[in-house]
Structure 1
Amino acid sequence: MNVDATFVNAAGLVVGSALLIQLVHSWLRPRPIPNIPHNPITSFLGDIPAISRAGKNGDGLFADFVAHTVSIHGPISQILLGWHRLVIVNDKAEMERIILREKITDTSARLRSVFATVLPNSQISLPANEIWKKHRRLSGPSMSRRYLERMSERIAAGANDLVGLWQAKYTLVGCSAFDPVLDFHLATMDGIVNVTLGHSIGCMKHAYDALPSSVQYPSSVVHFPPVDPPLLYKSGKFIVKEVERSLQSPFPREGREGEEAFGKENLLDELIMYILAGQDSTAVSLSWLFKYLSTNANVQRQLHDEMCAVFGPSEESNNLDFDLLDNSERVPILESVVAETMRCAGVAAIIARDLLQDEVILGRHVPKGTLSISTQNYG
Structure 2
Amino acid sequence: MTLIQKQMVIVGAGPQALFLVREYSRIGYSVTLIGRRNEIAMYSCYAVKVPVTTEEDLIQALTDLAAKSQLLDCIVASGFYLSFLMNHFPNFFTIFNVFPKDVEALAVFLNKLNTYQLAEEITCKYPKSILLSQLDEDTDYKSIKFPQIVKWNQDIYLYQNPSFKTCLVKDVKELKNLVQTLIGREKESLVMQEYLGTDLQNNFSFGAYFDQGKLVAGICVNEVRHYRSGVSSVVEEYRGKYSQLIEEESVQLIGKTSFTGFLDVEFKIFNGEPYLLEVNPRPFGFIKIMKLKYPDLIPFIVGECAGNRKNPKQVQWMNMLRDMVLAVKNPLKIVHMFSVLLNFNSRTFDVWDIRDLKPFFQQVKR
The alignment's TM-score, normalised by the length of structure 2, stands at 0.27
Higher relative contact order (CA 8 A, sep 6+): 1
